[in-house]
Structure 1
Amino acid sequence: MTSPLRTAAEAWLADDPDPASQAELRSVIEDEAELEDRFSGPLRFGTAGLRGPLRAGPNGMNLAVVRGAAAGLVHWLAAQSAAPDDRPLVIGYDARHGSHAFAVETARVATGAGRRALLMPHPLPTPVLAFAVRRHGAAAGVMVTASHNPPQDNGYKVYLADGAQLVPPADAEIEAAIRAVGPLADVPLGPPGEVLDEQIAADYVTAALGVVDRDGPRDLAVAYTPMHGVGRRVFVTTLLAAGYPAPFVVAEQAEPDPDFPTVAFPNPEEPGATDLLLALAAREGADIAIANDPDADRCAVAYRTGGEPGAGWRQLRGDEVGVLLADHLMRRGVQGRYATTIVSSTLLSRLCADRDQPYGETLTGFKWIVRAGDDLVYGYEEALGYCVAPQTVRDKDGITAALLVCELAAGLKAEGRTLGDRLDELALRYGLHATDQLSVRVADLGDIAAMMATIRARPPAELLGVAVGSVEDLQPDADVLILRAGTTRVVVRPSGTEPKLKAYLEVVEPVADGADIPQARERAAASLAALRTETAAALGR
């Protein structure tokens, strides 16, 4: 007797338009456990779209899933207007396995439905696609990328006409439209769209240059890596156009490579991911080191901790870069709303209150940050994401963020100071805000729900010896629990892009004077280590 899983697999094979995907599924069709994983359900719209492993079946990224997603998206777009809508769909892609094919398939579905499709000329950063949506007056944008995920993954990110990632109810409506798509063989396919020329990247660079002061210092030695991704050409072009010296680039990671051979995980936050970058920076006597993730929407920063080229290096946390950039913009006189998320450091709120600037706090993700208010001038999230020019890109942008870091670092260098010196100034005025993260990766997604249920049922009575003063549960709006005990805070939530549970930790250490800063950092590190242990216990780990 044929099992339901085998029946589902046979039905999928009959409708799969990709012979390579068909062959892959046939090779595992006798493996019930494998079929159960692949057919446990369709990929769901998470953070701005789809993301998953490259494999056949509904619970993977493949040509069949992409055709269905594109068909649902164009049907939804058509339903948004009673009048004919001649706005195009703009499609970008990175250099991951399958990205170009998925982009072309999306374009063919769009043109088959009678909508123009504009395809990027080659693999480009995600921020360029977000920029292009508004530059071309598009109805929507699609970026084929899995950002900093492992090499076996790919994804499908959707932007609305305002250039921002999609939010409810659009995500649920598009998902319903995808589920309503009939046999894939019946989806009409047209030509592969119009391929844009290099002007779109040039226009992005011109717009990006607006984030820095034309007359500021430019003496800065930068080490840079695109981490086997697509950021190098655009970043180097932008940096040179802004008047900075050419950066030293990590040769082993300079060209796009979908296998990411020199890193275990292509995320600048991961231990060891920036080792080659920091080695190059030390070797060349750079002032700062910058890493983009593979689709260049994130930016990691490190600075030399001593005056000599052979001195040590310190990589900054996302919260530190986020506050440094906000402080820099405020000092430049940029007026408006500064926003971050509920899991980021509380220091930004202190800066805004002290300097009389509107402050916004949102749920996690740039789809929320960029909608923090019409007066938004800056937004960041602790996961190395920064929006320094919402008028240019309504999303996180690792290129413009890196450019603004260079302006800040060059200005400080001209004064004989470093990024660390500016952080110390902020600690003296507002206290040392130290953050860390506890990340629990799981094989079974049910473990995440179990851990959330455990801490909800029995939240800790104390954190670091201080009574928990509040337990805030954001359900049903978001699966988030926030614990506060004095100046200590723990925020627990499932990851939106990976099979992880994340706990975001913050402690605030008072600083007596400049001489106390090293001791304050040691106290904060010890407190964060203890807080990690307490939080893990509260999660039942």
Structure 2
Amino acid sequence: MSDPIADWIDADPDPETRAELANLCADELADRFAAPLSFGTAGLRGPVRAGPNGMNLAVVIRTTAGLSAWLKDRCLGGSTVVVGRDARHGSEKFAVAAAEVLAAAGFSVVLLPRPLPTPIVAFAVRRLRAAAGVQITASHNPAADNGYKVYLDGGAQLISPSDREIEASITRVGPANLVPRTPVTPASEELLDLYVDRVASLPTGRSRTLRIALTAMHGVGGETAVTALKSAGFTDVHSVAAQFDPDPDFPTVQFPNPEEPGAADAVLALAAEVGADIALALDPDADRCAVGVRGPDGWRMLRGDETGVLLGEHVLASAPADSLVATTIVSSALLGKLAEARGARFARTLTGFKWLVRAGEGLVYAYEEAIGHCVDPESVRDKDGISAAVVAADLAAALRAEGATLLDRLDDYALEFGLHAGDQVSRRVTDLADITAMMRRLRSELPAELAGEPVEATDLAELRGQSRTDAVVLAGSTVRMVVRPSGTEPKLKCYLEVVVPVPDRSALPAARESAASRLNLLREFAEAL
């Protein structure tokens, strides 16, 4: 009888991972072969290691062969497919292998010339009217991980049932060493230049007087971001030198995600040192952008919801009437209130840009609280940290010319719509079963009130259609909490929001104290799950 483990080792085209598997004990081998990586958020993501449930050459080759067969089944054989990569461990050989498998299958492959931001693949798929795009990246995951992100026609991330169909197609692929491969010559820099030109055209304000502090978080966005900002006229850019060049080990940050506590400390320190007007932090593949500001107590990072409403109104100011803006079920309610007041349409979707960019016709802006912003869906139908950085700089420069700041604009929103204060509690686990247990306990003991206010519970797992997901919403008139497992990390996430009326500007300090107190009550509930 055939031994599937021995067969896999024999067919692994990478001598390093063959040797790795050959030296594992029986228990470790069983773990590596327990189950293959599955398609989650737009593709695969997992640790770089040998075996079916890791990111390695054999998995990438078989995944690409499955994707190729799926595209051919839809009469897309011979179409253009774009392949890009970040600078993580294994990214170069994974991208080259993916390109070679696609080329051997008869596709016209555009292999981007070097490590570049993920949004450039989304841009290129749309620009070239490609059938698909593949980016080798694990975005903001820890250094040990890598991934395989798939875009389909139009440059949007794949959704169900396509992901399940591709997964099924992969299971029908034979041994990795028998999958045909044809060498591919990397493309020129033309697509990068076109992308930068498009991003540089986004600012609508007249002022370019702005001092910017920037970090690339050891990722691939530094050079492109600086080029785009300078092409847009923002030439006073100061970068965190120690984090500017790509480094797959991310030596100065424990988790290379600007959302994580402490991750943005270096750029905030640089902003204070150079007297910057704004701080910008990209994640490693530059599809996310966090914004830092100077407040009364020093520099701090804005929450994703704060940046989201700021950029949302800035985009709407130059958008056609009745345009659509969108955010997700876990984000603040503020953008919806602002859209109604500004005569725009508003939509909420499930988490993830695969849903946000499909929110409806006339979409001009979408964001999720996890510092993802789509400011130019006409060109990039995904979150894009580079274009978000340029538009944030445009807004900050316009406000600076008026003698105002981003925090002043947020105070204006508090007066108009009430102070919307939010926070997030993330429960990181080592055993995914713990997340299942926490969700089960919550569903069995749904609270009747939160922070002293009656709430109603909506279990989104009980809904039908595309709104169905593993999440529970607890909402009252001025409090809201959404609890859900993370789609990309071993975390249970709790999204908190309270709204406090603000009758006049003098009432802001008291409103902030009240909001902080009520958020603490929500936080205590979340931490006790």
TM-score interval w.r.t. the shorter chain?
Answer: over 0.9
Residue 496 in 1 paired to residue 482 in 2?
Answer: no
Counterpart residue number, 2:231: 241
CA contact (8 A) 2:319 2:364 kept: no
Q: Distance in 1 between the 2:140 and 2:406 partners?
A: 26
Counterpart position of 2:362: 375
Tell me the alpha carbon deviations over residues 263-283 of structure 1, each in whole angstroms, 9 at most, x when there is no partner: 111000111111111111111
Alignment partners' CA distance in 1, 2:509 and 2:4: 61
1:285 alignment partner AA: G
Q: Alpha-carbon deviation of 1:27?
A: 2.3
The one-letter amino acid paired with 2:245 is E
2:421 and 2:8 map into 1 onto residues whose CA distance is 50
Provide the secondary structure at the position in 1 that maps to 2:154: coil
Deviations 1:100-157 (A, max 9, x none): 1000000111111111211001000001110001222211000000000000000000
Aligned-residue RMSD, C-alpha: 1.6
Moved more, 243-252 or 44-53: 243-252
Cα shift at 1:334 = 4.5
- 1:250-292, Cα deviation, whole Å (9 max, x unpaired): 0101100000111111000111111111111111111110011
For 2:462 and 2:35, the matched residues in 1 are separated by 24
In the alignment, the residues of structure 2 paired with residue 43 and residue 502 of structure 1 have an alpha-carbon distance, to the nearest angstrom, of 22
The correspondence for 2:433, drawn from 442, 446, 449, is 446
**2:47 alignment partner in structure 1:** 53
Partner Cα separation in structure 1 for residue 381 and residue 512 of structure 2 = 35
Consecutive unaligned residues in structure 2, runs of 5 or more: none
What number of residue pairs does the alignment pair up?
524
The alignment-based identity, stated in percent, is 56
Work out whether 1:418 is the aligned partner of 2:414: no
Name the residue aligned to 1:132: 124
Select the residue among 295, 302, 319 that pairs with 1:316: 302
Matches within 5 A, 1:355-504: 355-475=342-462, 477-504=468-495
SS of structure 2 residue aligned to 1:518:
helix
Match of 1:195, SS?
coil
Alignment of 1:94-113 (within 5 A): 94-113=86-105
Aligned partner of residue 438 in structure 1, secondary structure: strand
* Distance in 1, Cα, partners of 2:17 & 2:319: 55
> 1:77 aligns to what?
71
Partners of 1:142 and 1:502 in 2: CA distance: 28
CA–CA separation in structure 2 for the residues paired with 1:519 and 1:289: 28
Q: Residue 39 of structure 1 corresponds to which residue in structure 2? A: 33
CA deviation map 1:192-228 (0-9, x unaligned): x231111111000111123212x51111000001111
Q: Secondary structure, in 3 states, of the residue corresponding to 2:475?
A: strand
Q: Distance in 1 between matches of 2:266 and 2:525?
A: 34
User: Structure 2 counterpart of 1:321, which letter?
Assistant: T
Deviation at 1:499, TM superposition (A): 1.1
The AA in structure 1 aligned to 2:41 is T
Q: Check if 1:278 corresponds to 2:268.
A: yes
TM-score normalised by structure 1 residue count = 0.94
CA contact (8 A) 2:315 2:364 kept: no
User: Which one of the candidate residues 162, 187, 190 is aligned to 1:199?
Assistant: 190
2:157 partner SS:
coil
In 1, are the aligned partners of 2:326 and 2:359 still within 8 Å (CA)? yes
1:34-67 alpha-carbon deviations (Å, 9 max, x no partner): 2343222111100000000001111110111101
Asked whether 1:217 is paired with 2:211, we answer: no
User: Aligned partners of 1:481 and 1:222: how far apart in 2?
Assistant: 39
Please say if residues 424 and 496 of structure 2, whose CA atoms lie closer than 8 Å, have aligned partners that are also in contact. Answer: yes
Q: Which residue pairs with 1:10 in the alignment?
A: 6
Q: How many angstroms does 1:188 deviate by? A: 1.4
2:523 equivalent among 516, 525, 532: 532
2:504 maps to what in 1? 513
One-letter amino acid matched to 1:205: V
Deviations 1:355-391 (A, max 9, x none): 2211111000000000001210100000000000001
Q: Match for 1:23 among 19, 23, 28?
A: 19
Match of 1:65 among 50, 56, 59: 59
User: Which 4+ residue blocks in structure 1 deviate beyond 6 angstroms?
Assistant: none
Is there any run of 5+ residues in structure 1 with no aligned partner, and where?
A: none
| 1:448 Cα offset (Å) | 1.3
Q: Which residue of 2 aligns with 1:344?
A: 331
Q: Is the 8 A contact 1:473 1:482 kept in 2?
A: yes
Q: Secondary structure at the residue paired with 1:211?
A: coil
Task: Write the deviation string for residues 468-491 of structure 1: whole angstroms up to 9, x where unpaired.
Answer: 234343346211111112221111
